[in-house]
Structure 1
Amino acid sequence: MSDEVTGGLDEPEGLQPEPGALRLAGDGDAWSRADWEKAAAGVLRRAHRLSDDDPDDAVWAALTHTTYDGIPVTPLGTADQAVAPAVPRPTRVGGWDVRVRAFDGTDVVSELERGATSLWVLAEHVAADTLPAFLDGVLLDVAPVVLETPTLAHAEALVAMGRLHPASNLGATDDTDLVAFARLAIHAGVRAIVVDGVVVHEQGASDAQELAWVLARAAQVLRILEDAGIEPEQALRLIELRVAVTDEQFVSIAKLRAVRVLWARMAELCGVDVTRARVHAVTSRPMTSAYDVHVNLLRTTVAAFAAGVGGADVITTVPFDEPTGEISTLGRRLARNISALLVDESHVARVADPAGGAYAVERLTDDMCQAAWAALGRIEADGEQAFFARVAEVKARREDDVAHRRRPLTGLSEFANPADPAPARRNTAYRYGAAFEELRHNAPEDHVFLATLGPVAEHTARAQFATNLLAAGGIAVDVAGATSGVDVVMAAYDGQAVVCLAGTDSAYAEWGKEVTAVLRAKGARRVIVAGPPTEGADDSCSFGDDAVAFLTRTREALR
């Protein structure tokens, strides 16, 4: 019997092209930087973000935004941004560790059976003597367990339960019993310490400030352990780093890559060969909202994607309904499934460091390292009190940006739905949109009358702007609709105390004063104009105003 197999395709003459012979671009794809600038400028001119007199290369300034660390994030990566690739690069290939927070009442076995691969146990909710019962059924040598804010009794109880997965962490975060935690972990073959940057992130710190805090805290831990006879080479292996990731995708990717570079530099200064950091990324709680909570799914998915691309070893996705204070079974399931979708369906984890080499990402990584190292120097020089004063400054700048809607929050400060019910109780953790949440929490029952001047085509832009803005404060509107004169507007008016005029500048000039006078005569106590301040109006609202201040004034007038 012949071994020859008939049929099929002919063997290719060459299995791969000659070096330099592969061209992915077609003949019509030879675009230049000037071509891109021209196309982008055309879009911005139609959006009135550039004037006809602005040069095409003004798109760079218009589309570049700056982080709170002063790092520019450009709209396009170009060769002139090239820097040496980050070293060390992330090396994880394959799925990451999907870690879930567990506290009293959490069915930990169910979490592990349904997609979680490790547990983050909040020790303040689980007493040390009940820890064995809480973890009953968990294969501790298969699923890592990490404790948060534990006592030494918690750590001893966990170690006493038997062999632990080497990625388990006893979770020491402060100086109390730090050496005892370290010695216990060395004996058990696990990690002992979490250096937690999320703590300062949730106080409003910028990305570089968070990384600087991680480095400063790690240096303090290494000094304490070295004084106790535990050398840096061994101490570094006892530490896991925890950082926050947000929906600022490229910045978060760079942040995850930067923390490895910074960690390697710290190891080098300790006289230790580059030690691979174990990095736990947690999707940001401050970026979420207690209103229109399903938008949080978009935020956390982008953040988890950034963490995965950035090379995180462990990822915790905050459930979308966590800000409400009532985490549902659906919320926990979707938080786990986000990682499953990214790993198994989107194949984000198939290669190590997929963003490595990209001009923009390498530049952001380098800039982040420089900013964080400089911030570390300031901590070492000025101390913690000065550091937290700088964090407070960043927090105030961010809150001002949120209030002026320069940093929009979808579903909260933009495109809010006033009919969205207030949560029964809210998680009190700091969130960027706290001021808007407070406005929404006790929404006024009375509506604002939206006195639209002229046909729909003329008033719709300002009417939609005013409606969207008022909704962000929990204020609903009653719309007059298409109008042709004062009588038509008044026919729709039903005695509302606050009125907002919405129309073109020419309409305001032509009959704005007249309609304002009639509305006041019929009971309107406060008249707002959508657009620049106008004579005769009590208030105005336009793009760039302090929305929180405006909404607060408007709500007071509705009382």
Structure 2
Amino acid sequence: MSKELFNEFDAVSSKQWKQQIQYELKGADYNETLVWESPEGIKVKPFYHIDETVTPAQITTSATNFKIVQNIFVHDVDKSITRALDTLSRGAESIRLTIADETIAVEKLLHAIPSDVQVYIKPTFLKAEFVKSIQSVRPDTIIELDPIGQLVKDGNWFSNLDADFTTLNQLNATLSVNAETYQNAGANMVQQLAYILAHVNEYFNRVSAIDKPITINVAVGTNYFFEIAKLRALRQLFNALAKEYNHQFDCHIIATPTKRNKTLYDYNVNMLRTTTECMSAILGGANAVSNLAYDAIYHKDNEFGDRISRNQLLVLKKESYFDKVNNPADGAYYVEEITKQLAEKALLLFKELEANGGFITQLIEGNIQRKIKESAEKEQTLFDEGKETLLGTNKYPNKNDRMKDDLELYPFVKIQPRKTLITPIIEKRLAEKLEQERLATENQ
């Protein structure tokens, strides 16, 4: 019926659309008026047409299988078990445990979680005995081992380069790439993709046998369609690289909303931001989504914040039917074009990194940090000048908001002078300077 209906209309070519648009502009220049350029150097057109559409990328995503992840930082085993079981009964589908103490009774913790629930464990240390104890109890646990990510964020290896990779080569464990740091520090999307690819390539070159999927943790920003395209481009680039190493597994993507655009004042707006970011993550093909609580930057973990963030994903899944269609972005002309351009630009940057010694070498020389800083400063300038908007913060702020007495966590960059091998990549929110100024004048 719909096919017959649409057959009633004559096809309109891309050239005809442009002619009509030019007529409506009454002499104004089409490119200057309607075409804008993204921070990645991608020119975005006002419309996309089948006449000019690229061949759809062969990317297989499975939105019908995406899982809702609950993060738990383990201090007390019994309390963590109680919390894990409670969140599973209230909609969580996977549990992600961050463990900072190698003496934690991890076996007890794993035995308590139902066997059909995917468990991720993110240790903040690298100990072979600890990993083996997990594998002996629950072999399907995804252990997020990422010594390069440790170097990126902390400035130092767990031990040193040789020792860390010796440990990895002794373990038949899952490798992880913590790419959230790049986005949260201000890297643009091309940089994020290229650095992830180079990060992964170091593991392919330095770990002798990788016979499990590599987990990639990504942060998702607020540029809705671009973020969908970013995740699709990531999967496409990863599979192209993996093929060169005869790696037979697709990557496993865990997506989390970015911290970079989250705000201290008018914090309820953070719920709107994280909702669209989770939507991009699902449509882009993330295997799992871990939402960020609206108050995460200034409150400790709390039941209300967890419940709201989990319910946002449940609404998308159970009421908005985001889990009903696989490959939902396939054939969307705009998304396909952005995917293509992001992938091409990221591949060029990746090749440049490899030609200059690879990712670790570029980190040690400080070039990665410098490039991210330059990108972050450009975005910060746009925010400071009001050209990049965060509602409730640099546009339409509520001057009556008071936050000084609500801070349970320090919401700004912490400076800890110490000796490091490299300059760490520091995550920083756009609104920090403005918020510090507001906090300082709250009682005046």
TM tier, shorter chain?
0.7 to 0.9
Does the residue aligned with 1:86 lie in a helix, a strand or coil?
A: coil
CA distance in structure 2 between the partners assigned to 1:303 and 1:283 by the alignment? 6
1:197 aligns with 2:171: no
Q: Whose RCO is larger (CA < 8 A, sep 6+)?
A: 2
Deviation at 1:167, TM superposition (A): 5.7
Does the residue aligned with 1:324 lie in a helix, a strand or coil?
A: coil
Does the residue aligned with 1:139 lie in a helix, a strand or coil?
A: coil
Native 8 Å contact 1:150 1:172 kept in 2:
no
Match of 2:441 in 1: 443
What are the within-5 Å matches in structure 2 for residues 484-499 of structure 1? none
Native 8 Å contact 1:182 1:238 kept in 2:
no
Q: 2:411 aligns with which of 427, 430, 454?
A: 427
Native 8 Å contact 1:108 1:138 kept in 2:
yes
| Alignment deviations for residues 273-313 of structure 1 (CA, whole Å, 9 cap, x no partner) | 6x422111111111211111110111111010011011110
Native 8 Å contact 1:95 1:343 kept in 2:
no
Match of 1:109 in 2: 85
| Alignment deviations for residues 56-94 of structure 1 (CA, whole Å, 9 cap, x no partner) | x63x5434432222112333322354112112x133141
Native 8 Å contact 2:213 2:252 kept in 1:
no
CA distance in structure 2 between the partners assigned to 1:221 and 1:438 by the alignment? 40
Unaligned runs of 5+ in 1: 1-16, 42-52, 447-559
CA distance in structure 1 between the partners assigned to 2:211 and 2:392 by the alignment? 43
Q: 2:135 aligns with which of 135, 149, 159?
A: 159
Q: 217-226 or 98-107, which moves further after superposition?
A: 98-107
Does the residue aligned with 2:56 lie in a helix, a strand or coil?
A: coil
Native 8 Å contact 2:263 2:270 kept in 1:
yes
Match of 1:377 in 2: 351
Does the residue aligned with 2:177 lie in a helix, a strand or coil?
A: strand
CA distance in structure 2 between the partners assigned to 1:418 and 1:181 by the alignment? 52
Does the residue aligned with 2:5 lie in a helix, a strand or coil?
A: coil
Deviation at 1:26, TM superposition (A): 6.2
Does the residue aligned with 1:364 lie in a helix, a strand or coil?
A: helix
Q: 1:365 aligns with which of 339, 353, 374?
A: 339
Match of 1:542 in 2: none
CA separation of 1:182 and 1:140: change in aligned 2, threshold 3 A: farther
Deviation at 1:246, TM superposition (A): 1.0
Larger radius of gyration: 1
Match of 1:260 in 2: 235
CA separation of 1:156 and 1:84: change in aligned 2, threshold 3 A: same
CA distance in structure 2 between the partners assigned to 1:331 and 1:25 by the alignment? 50
CA distance in structure 2 between the partners assigned to 1:368 and 1:236 by the alignment? 28
| Amino acid of the structure 2 residue aligned with 1:193 | L
Match of 2:398 in 1: 417
Deviation at 1:28, TM superposition (A): 10
Deviation at 1:204, TM superposition (A): 1.5
Native 8 Å contact 2:254 2:289 kept in 1:
yes
Does the residue aligned with 1:129 lie in a helix, a strand or coil?
A: coil
CA distance in structure 2 between the partners assigned to 1:159 and 1:271 by the alignment? 25
CA separation of 1:132 and 1:167: change in aligned 2, threshold 3 A: closer
Deviation at 1:247, TM superposition (A): 1.3
1:246 aligns with 2:221: yes
When normalised by structure 2's length, the TM-score is 0.81
Native 8 Å contact 1:289 1:412 kept in 2:
yes
Match of 2:269 in 1: 295
Q: 1:386 aligns with which of 355, 367, 384?
A: 367
Q: 245-254 or 28-37, which moves further after superposition?
A: 28-37
Does the residue aligned with 2:104 lie in a helix, a strand or coil?
A: helix
| Amino acid of the structure 2 residue aligned with 1:312 | A
Native 8 Å contact 1:101 1:120 kept in 2:
yes
Match of 1:220 in 2: 202
| Amino acid of the structure 1 residue aligned with 2:398 | N
Native 8 Å contact 1:141 1:163 kept in 2:
no
CA distance in structure 2 between the partners assigned to 1:35 and 1:296 by the alignment? 41
Does the residue aligned with 2:88 lie in a helix, a strand or coil?
A: helix
Deviation at 1:170, TM superposition (A): 4.3
When normalised by structure 1's length, the TM-score is 0.65
Native 8 Å contact 2:63 2:283 kept in 1:
no
Match of 2:151 in 1: none
Unaligned runs of 5+ in 2: 149-160, 357-361, 414-427
| Alignment deviations for residues 198-234 of structure 1 (CA, whole Å, 9 cap, x no partner) | 12222211111111111111111111113xxx2xxxx
Equivalenced residue count is: 398
CA separation of 1:284 and 1:39: change in aligned 2, threshold 3 A: farther
1:280 aligns with 2:251: no
CA distance in structure 1 between the partners assigned to 2:3 and 2:296 by the alignment? 53
CA RMSD of aligned residues (A): 2.8
| Alignment deviations for residues 379-422 of structure 1 (CA, whole Å, 9 cap, x no partner) | 22342221221111101101111101111111111111111112
Match of 2:377 in 1: 396
CA distance in structure 2 between the partners assigned to 1:127 and 1:39 by the alignment? 69
Match of 1:320 in 2: 294
Native 8 Å contact 2:74 2:99 kept in 1:
no
| Alignment deviations for residues 526-547 of structure 1 (CA, whole Å, 9 cap, x no partner) | xxxxxxxxxxxxxxxxxxxxxx
CA distance in structure 1 between the partners assigned to 2:352 and 2:275 by the alignment? 34
Does the residue aligned with 1:192 lie in a helix, a strand or coil?
A: coil
CA distance in structure 1 between the partners assigned to 2:400 and 2:273 by the alignment? 22
Q: 2:17 aligns with which of 3, 17, 33?
A: 33
CA distance in structure 2 between the partners assigned to 1:29 and 1:378 by the alignment? 44
| Amino acid of the structure 1 residue aligned with 2:252 | R
Deviation at 1:134, TM superposition (A): 4.9
